[in-house]
Amino acid sequence: MTKRALIIGISGQDGIYLAELLLEQGYEVHGASRRVSSGEHEQLTHLAGRVTLHPADLADQSSIHAVVKASNPHEIYNLAAQSFVPTSWSQPIFTADITGLGVVRVLDAIRQHDPSIKLYQASSSEIFGHPLEVPQTEITPLNPRTPYGCAKAYAHMVIKNYRDEYGLFVSSGILYNHESPRRGLEFVTRKITDGAARIKLGMAKDLHLGNLDGRRDWGHAADYVRAMWLMLQQDAADDFVIATGKRHAVRDCCAVAFGHLGLDYNEFVQVDPKFVRVADEPELVGDATKAREQLGWAPEVSFEDMIREMVEHDVARLERELSRQA
């Protein structure tokens, strides 16, 4: 039997890597995404003819029911969210609706269409906010400190409630920061690799960043989507922290990115107060022991190799732009 999977939020970084993984595993893959004009959709062109795309919006209950009915999946991966933390402060209601209540719409669609469908829900380390213990595990108390973190915390808890109340197979992956060349340019790692590439190619003279000492547990998105898939291959649903267990500073990212291009980041990076976030130093670092022991999962791509890959991608992308302009 060919398995069918529905990826809600297929046009994002994780959705594309996951679609590729599922196709390799022999799945029939369906993808749902809002119909918007976005560079994200351009990243799906290599999947044309291999993935069936559907319009859907987590804010619209009827569209979620429609896409579940149309795709009739065995597995659903909900990766859609308003996921940029700073935006959650300027659009808190939208963030709560999409990132929080959107999950309930998916759960109710499963209940009404086919309760045997397995659901993966993308949770986030932001549910721990300013964590009450370091490192964090699956039982660390939630302490979100942003509208995005609060919305993700609601989704995380409602998943547990639906699992217990209705017996649904719903698993949450508490994912820590994960990056790749497909990461949006608004995120700091990609801002750094794009900035370094622009400076190397003479397209910019400097790069303005916030707190260079801010530290994160950063992994590669391709590693993390493998964990998502593994969660739905288990006999029972559960929650798992997915993390490297190592923290790196923003300046570490700068050093690797600029150094890979033969540059010293100290000569080009400027700290700009307008980019310094309040409370930018949470001790967010995950303990993925449970994932290692129960899923057999471990990250394979190092932090340094990930940043180098991103830099090389951005150099190649910008060189193409320059050649088109010539």
Q: Do 172 and 261 belong to one domain?
A: no
Pair (97, 229) in one structural domain: yes
- Whether residue 57 lies inside any domain: the answer is yes
Mean pLDDT computed over every residue of the chain = 94
CB atoms within 10 A of CB 268: 18
Confirm if 299 and 223 have CB atoms less than 8 A apart: yes
Mean pLDDT, rounded, for 109-135: 97
Residues 276 and 207 sit within 8 Å (Cβ to Cβ): no
Six-digit token pair at 222?
């391709």
Band the pLDDT of 281: cuts 50, 70, 90: low
Return the minimum-mean-pLDDT range out of 30-34, 70-74, 193-197, 316-320. Answer: 30-34
pLDDT recorded at residue 274: 81
Structural domain harbouring 254: 182-216+247-281+301-321
The pLDDT assigned to 278 comes to: 57
Residue 57 and residue 44: Cα distance in Å, rounded?
A: 18
- Rounded-to-integer distance, Cα 179 and Cα 83, Å: 13
Question: Does the structure show a pLDDT above 60 at 36?
Answer: no
pTM of the model: 0.94
Q: Say if 294 falls within a structural domain.
A: no
Catalytic residues: 124, 126, 148
Beta strand pairing status for 215-216 and 248-249? antiparallel
Q: Does the residue 58 lie in any domain?
A: yes
In this prediction, residue 326 has a pLDDT band, given cuts at 50, 70 and 90, of confident
